[in-house]
Amino acid sequence: MASHRRPKQPSRARVTVLTTAAAAAVAFSSQAANAAPSEKPSKDEVKAKVDKLYEEAEQATEKYNGAKEKQEKLQKEISTIQDNVARGQEELNELRDSLGLAAASQYRTGSIDPSVQLFLSADPEDYLDKASTLDQLSSQQVEALKKVQEKQRELAQERAEASEKLKDLASTRTELGKKKKEVQGKLSSAQKLLNSLTAAQKAELAAEQNRASRTSERDALDVDVPPGSGRAAAAFAFAQSQLGKPYVYGATGMSSFDCSGLTSRAYAAAGVQIPRTSEAQTGAGTKIYSVSQLKVGDLVFFFNDLHHVGLYAGNGQIIHAPRTGTVVRYESMDTIGGPFMFGVRV
């Protein structure tokens, strides 16, 4: 007779675990189904992030400009030193040759001076230290040996200086590469953000910038503010002639500019050489801390680290090269994005 066994029932603990797991799974599925998709940042949020990246890129740009200027200066100095060393070596060789000819003449007559012989086979520095030999030299030979000694010291100093400058140049080039990479990274990140906008959002941003630029230009031209000097007027006129040209980091014209590239080129056109970077340009003249005392053509500086500069245009407006993606334009000082620090009358 077949036995009928009662099916084994799951334990209460197991039922509880399974039920809890199932409930959690259902809840998770429900949450996942009802969760709103992650929202893309708004146009204004993207603009704020992009503006911040552009500001950081400009900070790096001014450091890049400083490193580039230092590199060019070092290269010129090294070239000058190397030319001096080459000429000095020629002079030294001529001095040695003249002593050698004198020694040869003495040798042919069988009366070579032991002191000259010593010089030709040893260091003149050591030779001149041996006072006992000086009595055996003519005054002309002593003078010639002293010139050799002096020229050797000069060459040693110049070679040491060139060596140090070459080391400095190598580190400057490394710094230049880092800053260039930093700038490019910031600009790339900004471009990715801008690419995330729709065509309509991009058009809105462009329209906003155009309206701001037109308003600033009208405000600047409506007010007659006297220029600080004939040179300031000439610099400002140059900047006006560059309106509409694109911003490119590291550029000093004529097809494109960055902020300090525009101001340095403007004053160069007026016959005044000012430093290349915005921070260095702060020392180009007299500081002016009140906007009401600014005159057309004065340099105006923004942000705590002074990484942005433009030319005052009157009525609280400036002409400047703002950042990547923009052109040389008029703009209100209130919309630069950083505080006005002071002006400089060159």
Q: What is the 3-state secondary structure (H, E, C) of 21-67?
A: HHHHHHHHHHHHHHCCCCCCCCHHHHHHHHHHHHHHHHHHHHHHHHH
Assigned CATH topology for domain 43-194: Helix Hairpins (1.10.287)
Q: What average pLDDT does this structure show over 25-48?
A: 63
Active-site residue, selected from the candidate residues 63, 245, 320, 323: 320
Q: What average pLDDT does this structure show over 17-42?
A: 50
Active-site residue, selected from the candidate residues 70, 265, 308, 345: 308
**pLDDT beyond 70 at 7:** no
**pLDDT beyond 80 at 225:** no
pLDDT at 276: 96
> Which of the pair, 102 or 196, is modelled with greater confidence?
196
Assigned CATH topology for domain 212-345: endopeptidase fold (from Nostoc punctiforme) (3.90.1720)
Q: Where are the domains of the chain?
A: 43-194, 212-345
- Indicate if 259 belongs to the active site: yes
Q: What average pLDDT does this structure show over 3-7?
A: 48
- Indicate if 320 belongs to the active site: yes
Which of the four pLDDT bands, split at 50, 70 and 90, describes residue 164? very high
286-288/299-302 β-pairing: unpaired
pTM, entire model = 0.71
Which of the four pLDDT bands, split at 50, 70 and 90, describes residue 325? confident
Q: What average pLDDT does this structure show over 183-187?
A: 95
Helices and strands in the chain, H and E counts: 10, 6
Active-site residue, selected from the candidate residues 239, 251, 259, 300: 259
Query: Exposed e or buried b for every residue in 173-187, given b needs 16+ CB within 10 A?
Result: bebbeebbebbeebb
pLDDT at 336: 93
Percent of the chain with pLDDT over 90: 60
**pLDDT beyond 80 at 32:** no
* CA 34 from centroid of its chain's CA atoms: 51
**pLDDT beyond 50 at 207:** yes
317-320/308-314 β-pairing: antiparallel
